[in-house]
Structure 1
Amino acid sequence: MEKTYNWAVLGCGHIAKKFSNDLKLLPNANLYAAASRNLQKAKGFAGEFGYEKAYGSYEEMVNDPKVDVVYVATPHSHHREHALLCLENQKAVLCEKAFAMNRNEASEIIAVAQKNNTFLMEAFWTMFQPSFKKAMEIIKSGELGKLKTVRSDFAFNGVFDPQKRLYNVNLGGGSLLDIGIYPVFAALTSLGKPEIIKTFADFASTGSEESISMIFKYKNGQMASLTSSFASFSPTQTEYWCENGYLVLNPKWFVPTNITVWKKGEEPVNYPSEHKEGFGYQYEAAHVMDCLDAGKIESDRMPWQMSLDLMETLDRVRIDAGIFFPGHDKNLFF
């Protein structure tokens, strides 16, 4: 008989709402507790999505023995603090991306998971989308020849608000950690860590980076061209250019979507999305419970090393671009 897991959400914002809707699609997931620093907000969230309990403090929630796994959905500036709180209380953690503010923080979180023998995974939902998995299978099969270039973008024209997360450096504001992480992820999962990184960034009046373009260069001649921005709209697609053709993860490439594949001398082939319902967060949640069923503390699909490599690459991008976060960058990895 399949075990049912009691889920809690730590942070009751926009992404926690989407995640909660998708969690309802999984028969072995029980929406158990919603936690916020504001009890009324937690009660409203719990009532809206059907959570059994509401907590007005995170500490109170992690001390509930019935909580099995916690989805950390606070701003990434607080991920270290909140992930450690859960892990020290031996609650399995699915931590929203960006996993931390830098590689050092990510390493600390992982070390605590190891010390407490407690499951931990970064919630990089794109890794678990059927369309992304299909694209990686095609690229890695070699049927298009050697991968030479990755081109990926994610941009939208956001509302400028100095106090809100997107433009507030104290909350890790800027397009890079919020949406630029997706193009960086696209390069990392297909080409690995780059040898050379060159960036061009534009900054808002708050000091946060508003737009950034990145070029990754690899020893074997492969390259990646990556862009994110809060100042304009983009197609938000990812292209893999190969020796004998190309593959496109069509807009919006980071969620369930369709794929276009073209081979030299042939007509393009479209692979429709296999996704049926929800936003697509249910795939990562289902994987977490599969790992817990197997007694694992680390995912084999989104392993800790992947999160470390991603944060290390983002650190290198930030240093080249001059992007710094007060209170978090005293001991940057490089």
Structure 2
Amino acid sequence: MKKYNWAILGCGWIAEIFASDLKIVDNAVLYAAASRNLSKAKNFANKFGFQKAYGSYIEMLEDDNVDIVYIATPHSFHCKYTLLSLERKKAVLCEKAFAINQKEVALMINASKEHNTFLMEAFWTRLVPTFKKVLSIINSKELGELKTIQSDFMFYVPFNAKSRLYDLSLGGGALLDIGIYPVFTALQTLGKPNNILAYAIKSPTGSDEHLDIIFEYENDKKAYLRAGFRNDAPNYSVFHFEKGTVQISREMNCPIIIKTEKGIQEMKEDDGPGYGYYFEAAHVMECLDKGLIESPILSNDFSLELIKTLDEIRTKINVVYPNHD
């Protein structure tokens, strides 16, 4: 099994989750961590067992031994560092949202093709067994046609104008940070909507603090999506079919609850240890083993369609990211 040297670009909390899962993957070498603060990079490297620490992103990207870069900066920097990585022939797994807008994502995808180098959006939920099982139920038609989806992602975060979650210059707001998950779920299951309705409650910075979104499809199919920082919630996704419902949780290793006229059935897929991020890390390396420059499961065309949808929602709720739109 070929081993790959992984580098972490940005040492925040999401990078910590990813790094802890990366240790589970046998052919992943925890090679380098980079932050704009060398002390932070060293602390991160020591905590998770990376071989090197850099106080400069560029310096790390110039390291010839780096094979794959996981980009975990705020959204507003994703495009910049993805392009710099691809130019240096480093495979890229970039956190969601892939970038701030459609224009930036298109630049990233074009750079991947130009440099013949792998690029994938880090949507870990697509690769976990529980979500794969839901897709198999949809495709099998065992419960009939999928008619309606309800998907929520909400938790409480007190307002702080300087927080990444509320600062529009960093792509702050519920949509790109957590609203992307319900939107992703709808696109993966019901597909591209014919019409989008969106409503937002704004924070004092003008960011979207809470979102209610409705996707409308042919034959009266609908997706009801919610996201926000105003309150906590159970955060389930419920799929309503002709002959029953399927409910999944955002938590790992929770049962799939299937309700039909025969009663309630609980089915559990083995999502394994950790946070579920190791599935995407393993998948990236499988793609590289095959010489691919994008994932056949989570294609860059899908990521482009996703960001187009997010842009349309932002237009409807009148949210603008300074220096990007």
TM-score with structure 1 length normalisation? 0.96
CA distance in 2, matches of 1:144, 1:37: 51
Note if 1:259 corresponds to 2:256. yes
Alpha-carbon offset, residue 220 of structure 1: 2.8
RMSD: 0.9
CA distance in 2, matches of 1:206, 1:219: 37
SS at match of 1:207: coil
| Equivalence for 1:111 | 110
SS at match of 1:143: coil
CA distance in 2, matches of 1:238, 1:307: 21
Question: Superposed, which structure 2 residues align to 1:47-62 within 5 Å?
Answer: 47-62=46-61
SS at match of 1:90: coil
CA distance in 2, matches of 1:228, 1:315: 16
CA distance in 2, matches of 1:41, 1:71: 17
2:319 alignment partner AA: I
| Equivalence for 2:316 | 320
Alpha-carbon offset, residue 159 of structure 1: 2.3
**Of 266, 272, 286, the match for 1:270:** 266
| Equivalence for 2:239 | 240
Q: String of CA shifts for 1:52-89, please: whole Å, max 9, x gaps.
A: 00111111111111000000000111100011110011
SS at match of 1:165: coil
| Equivalence for 1:332 | none
CA distance in 2, matches of 1:193, 1:101: 20
CA distance in 2, matches of 1:304, 1:159: 34
Alpha-carbon offset, residue 275 of structure 1: 2.1
Note if 1:64 corresponds to 2:63. yes
| Equivalence for 1:73 | 72
TM-score with structure 2 length normalisation? 0.98
Question: Superposed, which structure 2 residues align to 1:49-198 within 5 Å?
Answer: 49-198=48-197
| Equivalence for 1:281 | 277
2:284 alignment partner AA: V
Alpha-carbon offset, residue 217 of structure 1: 0.4
CA distance in 2, matches of 1:261, 1:323: 38
Note if 1:202 corresponds to 2:201. yes
CA distance in 1, matches of 2:254, 2:11: 27
2:197 alignment partner AA: K
CA distance in 2, matches of 1:150, 1:37: 41
2:255 alignment partner AA: N
Note if 1:225 corresponds to 2:224. yes
CA distance in 2, matches of 1:320, 1:90: 38
Alpha-carbon offset, residue 256 of structure 1: 4.4
CA distance in 2, matches of 1:256, 1:18: 17
Q: Percent identity?
A: 50
Alpha-carbon offset, residue 100 of structure 1: 0.6
**Of 279, 295, 311, the match for 1:299:** 295
2:28 alignment partner AA: A
Aligned length: 325
CA distance in 1, matches of 2:38, 2:243: 57
Residues 130 and 256 of structure 1 are in contact (CA less than 8 Å); yes or no, is this contact kept in structure 2? Answer: no
CA distance in 2, matches of 1:218, 1:68: 42
Q: String of CA shifts for 1:38-58, please: whole Å, max 9, x gaps.
A: 111111111111100011111
List gaps (5 residues or longer) in structure 1. Answer: 330-334
Residues 215 and 225 of structure 1 are in contact (CA less than 8 Å); yes or no, is this contact kept in structure 2? Answer: yes
The answer to which of 282-291 and 40-49 deviates more is 40-49
Residues 180 and 228 of structure 1 are in contact (CA less than 8 Å); yes or no, is this contact kept in structure 2? Answer: yes
Q: String of CA shifts for 1:241-271, please: whole Å, max 9, x gaps.
A: 1111111113x25x443211122x2111111
SS at match of 1:51: coil
Alpha-carbon offset, residue 131 of structure 1: 0.5
Q: String of CA shifts for 1:160-186, please: whole Å, max 9, x gaps.
A: 211110010010111111000000011
CA distance in 2, matches of 1:257, 1:134: 13
1:80 alignment partner AA: C
Residues 256 and 280 of structure 1 are in contact (CA less than 8 Å); yes or no, is this contact kept in structure 2? Answer: no
1:68 alignment partner AA: D
Residues 37 and 57 of structure 1 are in contact (CA less than 8 Å); yes or no, is this contact kept in structure 2? Answer: yes
CA distance in 2, matches of 1:175, 1:110: 25
CA distance in 2, matches of 1:173, 1:79: 13
2:258 alignment partner AA: V
Q: String of CA shifts for 1:22-49, please: whole Å, max 9, x gaps.
A: 0000110000000111111111111111
Residues 69 and 93 of structure 2 are in contact (CA less than 8 Å); yes or no, is this contact kept in structure 1? Answer: yes
CA distance in 1, matches of 2:4, 2:178: 30
